C-alpha cells in the first residue's frame, strides 16, 4: 500500500506476493476499493500439496494471517488499520489490538479471508 503523505485515503493494496503464506497456494484473490477510505482484499488459501489443512495446519494458517495483518498495519500510516475476517468461521474478525484471538480450527480444504484496510481516524 502506498505510504504517501495522504493519510486519509487508500489508493491501492499491497502486492499479491505479500499475501502469500508458505505451504499454501492462492485459489482466489481479489481487491475491492469500496471508497477512498476502505479497501477489502479477499484471499482464499488452499493447501499446497495436500487435499486439506489438518486442524493444526488450519490453526497455524490463522496465526499467519493475523501476523500478516499486523505486518501490513505496521507499514501503513498510523491512522490506517487492518483487520482480517475469517469467512469460514462465522465471519469472525481479527483486529490487531486483540490480545486473545482464537478460533476452533477443524480440517478444511480452503480458508477464506477478507483483509480490510480502513481509515480509523482523520489527521
Structurally, the chain folds into a number of domains equal to 1
pLDDT (0 to 100) of residue 2: 47
pLDDT digits (tens, 9 = 90+) for 13-55: 899 999 999 999 999 999 999 999 999 999 999 999 889 999 9
Distance of CA 112 to the CA centre of its chain: 9
CATH number of 69's domain: 2.60.40
For residue 45, is it within any domain?
yes
Query: Contact 42/65 with Cβ under 8 angstroms?
Result: no
Q: Could you report the per-residue pLDDT of 59-76, keeping only the tens digit for each?
A: 999 999 999 999 999 999
32 with 7: CB under 8 angstroms? no
pTM: 0.92
H-assigned helices in 1-123: 55-74
Percentage of residues of the chain with pLDDT beyond 90: 82
Question: Which domain does 35 fall in, by range?
Answer: 15-117
- Specify if 2 maps to a domain: no
Amino acid at each position: 500500500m502506498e505510504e504517501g503523505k495522504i493519510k486519509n485515503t487508500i489508493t491501492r493494496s499491497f502486492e499479491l506476493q505479500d499475501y502469500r503464506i508458505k505451504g499454501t497456494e492462492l485459489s482466489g484473490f481479489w481487491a475491492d476499493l469500496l471508497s477512498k477510505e476502505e479497501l477489502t482484499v479477499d484471499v482464499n488459501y488452499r493447501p499446497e500439496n495436500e487435499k486439506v489443512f489438518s486442524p493444526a495446519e488450519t490453526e497455524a494458517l490463522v496465526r499467519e494471517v493475523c501476523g500478516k495483518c499486523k505486518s501490513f498495519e505496521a507499514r501503513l500510516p498510523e491512522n490506517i488499520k487492518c483487520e482480517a475476517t475469517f469467512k469460514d468461521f462465522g465471519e469472525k474478525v481479527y483486529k490487531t489490538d486483540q490480545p486473545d484471538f482464537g478460533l476452533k480450527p477443524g480440517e478444511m480444504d480452503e480458508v477464506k479471508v477478507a483483509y480490510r484496510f480502513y481509515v480509523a481516524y482523520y489527521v
